[in-house]
Amino acid sequence: MARDYYGILGVGSDAGPDEIKRAYRRLARELHPDVNPDGAAQERFAEVSAAYEVLSDPEKRRIVDLGGDPLGNGAAGAAGGDPFSAFGLGDIMDAFFGGGAAGGRTRGPRSRVQPGADALIRMQLTLEECATGVTRDLAVDTAVLCAECTGSGAAPGSRPTRCDICGGRGEVQSVQRSFLGQVVTSRPCPNCRGFGEVIPEPCQQCGGDGRVRSRRTVGVRIPAGVADGMRVRLAHQGEVGSGGGPAGDLYVEVDEVPHEVFTRDGADLHCTVQLPMTAAALGTTLELPTLAGSEELHIEPGTQTGTVRTLRGKGMPRLRSTGRVEGQGDLMVHVDVVVPTRLDKEQADLLRKLAQLRGEEQPDLGMGNRNGHGLFSRLRDSFGGR
């Protein structure tokens, strides 16, 4: 059964935090090992310390008020403790050499109050929303505390009673004879499912579970600089545990929608600008849209395909693991020179005249060129040819 933490400290169930602290200090001064070296006093000091730890924590105290034990085996197992910690050496010896229900050690009933599971919900955000951060109200469908029984699982006016099958131990034992002697095995009580108590009149609202499913609205603030797959944690907003146990956490995962202009690489952004060959040859100035507004981009004369211009500080906010924004990323502008594929007669004549003026009627392939600086010669040099 759950320990009487109020009785250990000698206070009532309605005691306030100050009264609980005074009771603990009084007992601690009396039972501290430095003052009272007696072994029984040391055990009592450990019990008093555990009781103060539970009753000074509002969440653990709520579990006690609901009839659970936050330091019991059930809570420890749910928190990820050693699954074999409940089996002492006496249990193993009793299993092989007997001991029976009178002398054997038992694990005791498990708490009906269990911590709740975490919940996950995904939120779609545009690149602009990821850059500025947003605050939204989310509709969340999770298990919540039953308002009818406030987590106890029993109908109003009733309460759980001790199991008649296991006598409140939460387990039943069977004894079998073998060549090693008596073998004692324990298993959870099938009548109370290991809780040590049964609910004769379950709550009609939750069916005895202490929780119901409900849709509620939760506000969430997404910080600036988040990226696809990042999660924002909302403490104690997840699933309420069975028996009215403490709620888990709610995680909001960012699902970033692809942008039609920019691609993202961490805090840096990339985009491609297509330039007519005349603008690339003569140079020009473009009005480039960024996340912070329009920005002038100067294109130098003779700009080639593959040129990358960097606009410092025009990318995404740099969100650190501490949750703080430190600086901005950059915007990388990739230039793609577009060569026309269809020319009318006038345009073709103008280009031929330009080619004549530049001496480019025929491509210079490096053949017969006394300087050897044509296309083929450059390719040969790049491969280390002679």
- Residues of each domain in the chain carrying CATH 2.60.260.20: 117-154+210-258, 260-339
Kind of pairing, strands 325-328 and 317-319? Answer: antiparallel
Q: CATH topology for 117-154+210-258?
A: HSP40/DNAj peptide-binding domain (2.60.260)
Lowest mean pLDDT among 62-66, 91-95, 163-167, 246-250: 91-95
| Amino acid 91: pLDDT | 41
| Amino acid 180: pLDDT | 59
Note the residue count of the chain.
Answer: 386
| Amino acid 378: pLDDT | 47
The CATH class of the 260-339 domain is mainly beta
The residue type of 374 is G
Task: State the pLDDT confidence band at 187, using cuts at 50, 70 and 90.
Answer: confident
Q: Give 251 or 191, the one with higher predicted confidence.
A: 251
Q: Annotated binding residue at 130? A: no
| Amino acid 207: pLDDT | 92
Lowest mean pLDDT among 106-115, 128-137, 210-219, 312-321: 106-115
| CA–CA separation, 269 and 317 (whole Å) | 11
Give the residue among 31, 111, 54 at the shortest CA–CA distance from 78: 111
Structure tokens at 263: 């691609």
Mean pLDDT of the chain: 82
Q: Annotated binding residue at 163? A: yes
Lowest mean pLDDT among 180-184, 206-210, 261-265, 358-362: 180-184
Whether 204 and 155 have beta carbons less than 8 Å apart is answered as yes
pLDDT tens track for 349-378? 998 898 888 887 776 555 545 454 554 454
- The angle subtended at Cα 309 by Cα 305 and Cα 312, nearest 5°, is 165
| CA–CA separation, 386 and 380 (whole Å) | 7
Q: Give 71 or 169, the one with higher predicted confidence.
A: 169
The residue type of 71 is L
Average pLDDT over residues 319-335: 91
CB atoms within 10 A of CB 177: 9
Residue that the structure tokens 């074999």 belong to? 84
| CA–CA separation, 331 and 290 (whole Å) | 8
Give SS3 for 73. helix
Give the residue among 78, 73, 79 at the shortest CA–CA distance from 105: 73
| Amino acid 166: pLDDT | 87
Give the dihedral sign, CA 382/384/385/386. positive
Burial class from Cβ neighbours inside 10 Å (0-12, 13-18, 19+) for residue 203 reads buried
Average pLDDT over residues 295-308: 93
Give the dihedral sign, CA 310/311/313/316. negative
H/E stretch holding 40 reads helix 39-55
Task: State the pLDDT confidence band at 174, using cuts at 50, 70 and 90.
Answer: confident
Task: Report the percentage of the chain scoring pLDDT > 70.
Answer: 80
Q: Annotated binding residue at 192? A: yes
Structure tokens at 217: 């609205």
Whether 198 and 208 have beta carbons less than 8 Å apart is answered as no
pLDDT tens track for 269-289? 999 999 999 999 999 999 999
